[in-house]
Amino acid sequence: MTSQSNATIPPGYMEDAQGHLVPRDKVKPLDLDRDKTVKDLVRKAKKASADLAEFKAEAFAVVEAFLDRSAAEYDAKIGGAGGNVTLTTYDGRFKVQRAVSKNISFDERLQAAKALIDECIREWSKGANKNIQVLVQDAFQVDKQGNVSTERVLGLRRLKVEDDRWDRAMKAISDSLQVIGSKSYIRVYERAADGTYMPISLDVASVDLPANDIADPDTTPAETAAAETADEAA
């Protein structure tokens, strides 16, 4: 199946899902309506996506610029990509977080650690702590992609085991850690009446439908309450 570009579709024709050209006057009105509805929404979705991408880039730049200004107060200069940081308004009503999530993996030395741990488990046999055995088995279970849980493997280092092989295994685990990438996020929050911070969603799947009571950042809670009272009185 080959799809025609808009430039190659003759006037008066439409392309169907199989790539065939169909005279427009042969297409049912409901199919035309559906086609227009979907395309209108797709255009708006692409614009919203582009706006979000622009906001994300701007937000990272604005946060970074503020951090530089803040550091300049102490004649300091912040280098590198930067880490997690939270900025809060003077009244504590809003906050913006820049979060950096590192993608951690293990190299081949994890296999050496597993071999040493297996030696310990076999030798301990009946005298082994059953809880430790379960933790080890869970730590090295792989998911559908064949990856082990980073959190569970690293959790083994918190166990107190008096065995030289165990110590060497824990060192092998530490040495096998590799940061293979990172991803940065911008999160925006507004404080609710009960004091908890609620996220201002930037994900279309979790965004609430528009409501008349959405507060403007420059409007104080007292002004918002007065406006609501006036609306109720009306």
Residue 166 neighbours by CB distance under 10 Å: 20
Question: Among 90-99, 160-169, 183-192, 194-203, which is the least confidently predicted range?
Answer: 160-169
Give yes or no for a contact between 93 and 190, defined as CB atoms under 8 angstroms apart.
yes
What residue spans define the domains of the chain?
13-79, 115-173
pLDDT at 131: 64
pLDDT at residue 40 tops 70: yes
pLDDT in tens, 127-152: 556 667 777 878 888 777 778 888 88
Question: Among 27-36, 91-100, 153-162, which is the least confidently predicted range?
Answer: 153-162
Compute the distance between CA of residue 24 and CA of residue 11 in angstroms, rounded to an integer: 9
pLDDT in tens, 54-72: 999 999 999 999 999 999 9
pLDDT at residue 227 tops 60: no
Compute the distance between CA of residue 113 and CA of residue 174 in angstroms, rounded to an integer: 10
Coil, helix or strand for 127?
A: helix
pLDDT at 31: 97
pLDDT at 81: 59
Which residue did the predictor score with more confidence, 225 or 52? 52
pLDDT at 234: 46
Compute the distance between CA of residue 229 and CA of residue 213 in angstroms, rounded to an integer: 12
Distances in whole angstroms, Cα of residue 181 to Cα of each of 100, 101, 103, 120, 121: 10, 9, 5, 33, 34
pLDDT level of residue 17 (50, 70, 90 thresholds): very high
Which residue did the predictor score with more confidence, 156 or 229? 156
pLDDT at 4: 62
Proportion of the chain above pLDDT 90, given as a percent: 47
Give yes or no for a contact between 104 and 180, defined as CB atoms under 8 angstroms apart.
yes
